[in-house]
Structure 1
Amino acid sequence: MSLAETIAPQLPYLRRFARALTGSQESGDAYVVAVLETLVADPQSFPESNMKRVGLYKCFLKVWNSISLNRDDVAPKTRVDLSLEAITPRPRQAFLLASVEGFTTQQIAEILDCSTREVSALIEEAGEQIAEQTATDVLIIEDEPLISMDLEALVKGLGHRVSGIARTHREAIIEVKKKQPGLVLADIHLADGSSGLDAVNEILLGFNLPVIFITAFPERLLTGERPEPTFLITKPFEPNTVRALVSQALFFGTNARVPDASAGLGGARGPKLATSASSGARALRT
């Protein structure tokens, strides 16, 4: 299979990544064109990798880090675009490779030419910078006191405020009426036998906000049907996982409405879930 045939299926995803990285459609597409021009001029510059997608992104970032395309950005920038620009470049690259493109830590390390430890540090740094931009009030829907205390500490450690802690569906609705949160962390099974799914869906009838489900029963949500939540953490959880998903959920502002539990998770659909070639060639040889 030729290099062109290998990378062609990955180009839509590379364009998505490039646009997120640069903050605009025009600049992102321009960098992708520069990468393609580089590979046409020097096919041997394509990095060696067991995974061609890893090699393509590695190639792209070497070009992106080595040249400046002075194109005028005409497309209006979204809140996410502006937030991305506020994150320093290397943490931004690691964050997007993980959260948008779904690369593993090992693959990101290969793309960025660094250790896995450095990748983890970069993603954590991006999370901290995101938290500074997205500080908000968080509602915790959790019936286990020790777990809710752990979540409260994690949330506050990221610079957010806890607007309330609810143990039941009814308490969750009461807390929302007191103060509208910017993020919800929700368990599924609550103290009185009520459903965190129902509570979240009722909350999202009034307004959209990102939701992270934290549950010991992920199979209740991951059925293979749609819609499914964008952000889901399985108990027992790792604190770093919670920190990372809180930052990502707030950054991308994705809501997480799911079907009513009484409908067997197959009920009505809610809102959509979260989602100069020569200089480039020189860079790829270094």
Structure 2
Amino acid sequence: MSDVPAITKNMSEAITRTLPFLRRYARAVTGSQQRGDEWVRLCAEVAVRQPDLVAKMDDTKLGVFALFHRLQQPFGGLDEATEASTVSSRLKESLTEMAPLQRRMLLLTVLEGFTVADAAHILDIDIDTAERSLQEARRELQRVASVRILVIEDEAVIALDVADIVRNAGHEVVGIAATEKAAVDLARKHSPHLVLADIQLRGADSGISAVREIMRSMSVPVIFVTGYPERLLTGTQVEPAFVISKPFDPDLLRAAIAQALDTVSI
């Protein structure tokens, strides 16, 4: 009996480390920061009180995500309609309009890095169904309308790579900004449909501060990129609604753009 508290404590710490990633996924799959966080809180409470539900899996993250989806089965509500978009109707070809299974498979594999087999386990489906749903999701992403994107990134090499990914995904780069002032000026000049912003810019400049200034004159969805997403999604500060990790591949960017187009940013 003396070992039980230690095991519970270790499991609780492992669960806590997983929560930022679960919050990111929940927001993406629901299309709502508020509703996503509500489901995560429920999952966290169950996982901490009954760690054996997660401990059955060798991978804590896999166990927590599987529990998250098990909790949806009796309660439902994970895929309810999202809030009204501020983006024009021609841009409504979005990730939230995919079939729920397709959307979940795409986000689990591309956003969270699970294998197809692990994603199938999380969703309690067979691998053939999982692979088919993922292929359908990738095809659906090709239907996302082309949009104008402002890139805010101070590292020249990274900025050019990001711009190439954006263009190869079928979108237009209206400009690349390395400072807050340049970002605000480019946004006012080009009125982008979406902003892709690094968190930390040159010197004391901040991507988040640049976006806040941009949002004073326009409403535009924003995707933030960072090498450390878990440091942002802590629940203790103002958080961006959409966060992707560096480095990211074209499919992840397409998915992030599609989901961001249906909601407002921070």
Q: What code does the residue aligned with 1:255 have?
A: S
User: 2:218 maps to what in 1?
Assistant: 207
Q: How far apart, CA to CA, are the structure 2 residues paired with 1:168 and 1:247?
A: 26
Q: How far apart, CA to CA, are the structure 2 residues paired with 1:151 and 1:241?
A: 12
Q: How far apart, CA to CA, are the structure 2 residues paired with 1:151 and 1:175?
A: 17
Q: Can you give the 5+ residue segments of structure 2 that lack an aligned partner in the other structure? A: 1-25, 31-56, 58-62, 76-80
What displacement does 1:139 show? 0.4
Contact conserved, 2:94 with 2:258, CA < 8 A, in 1? no
After superposing the two structures, state which structure 1 stretch, 49-58 or 200-209, moved more. 49-58
After superposing the two structures, state which structure 1 stretch, 237-246 or 166-175, moved more. 237-246
> Structure with the greater relative contact order (CA < 8 A, sep ≥ 6): 1 or 2?
2
Picking from 144, 148, 158, the partner of 1:137 is: 148
Q: How far apart, CA to CA, are the structure 2 residues paired with 1:189 and 1:55?
A: 37
Q: What code does the residue aligned with 1:118 have?
A: E
Contact conserved, 1:131 with 1:247, CA < 8 A, in 2? no
Contact conserved, 1:140 with 1:166, CA < 8 A, in 2? yes
Residue 168 of structure 1 pairs with residue 179 of structure 2: yes
User: 1:159 maps to what in 2?
Assistant: 170
User: 2:126 maps to what in 1?
Assistant: 113
Q: What code does the residue aligned with 2:263 have?
A: G
User: 2:265 maps to what in 1?
Assistant: 255
What displacement does 1:164 show? 0.9
Q: How far apart, CA to CA, are the structure 1 residues paired with 2:104 and 2:232?
A: 30
Q: How far apart, CA to CA, are the structure 2 residues paired with 1:52 and 1:219?
A: 20
Q: How far apart, CA to CA, are the structure 2 residues paired with 1:84 and 1:223?
A: 25
Q: How far apart, CA to CA, are the structure 1 residues paired with 2:139 and 2:240?
A: 24
Residue 187 of structure 1 pairs with residue 198 of structure 2: yes
User: 1:234 maps to what in 2?
Assistant: 245
What displacement does 1:255 show? 0.7
Q: How far apart, CA to CA, are the structure 1 residues paired with 2:97 and 2:200?
A: 38
Residue 196 of structure 1 pairs with residue 202 of structure 2: no
**Per the alignment, in what secondary structure is the counterpart of residue 112 of structure 1?**
coil
Contact conserved, 2:141 with 2:254, CA < 8 A, in 1? no
Contact conserved, 2:119 with 2:130, CA < 8 A, in 1? no
What displacement does 1:138 show? 0.5
Q: How far apart, CA to CA, are the structure 2 residues paired with 1:86 and 1:222?
A: 26
Q: TM-score if structure 2 supplies the norm length?
A: 0.55
Q: How far apart, CA to CA, are the structure 2 residues paired with 1:185 and 1:85?
A: 19
After superposing the two structures, state which structure 1 stretch, 233-242 or 174-183, moved more. 233-242
User: 1:65 maps to what in 2?
Assistant: none
Q: What code does the residue aligned with 1:129 have?
A: E
Count of matched residue pairs: 196
Q: What code does the residue aligned with 2:131 have?
A: E
Deviation string 1:225-267 (CA, Å, 9 cap, x unpaired) is 14311222333444543333233222x32413xxxxxxxxxxx
Deviation string 1:154-183 (CA, Å, 9 cap, x unpaired) is 112222111111111111011011111111
Q: How far apart, CA to CA, are the structure 2 residues paired with 1:130 and 1:238?
A: 14
What displacement does 1:201 show? 0.7
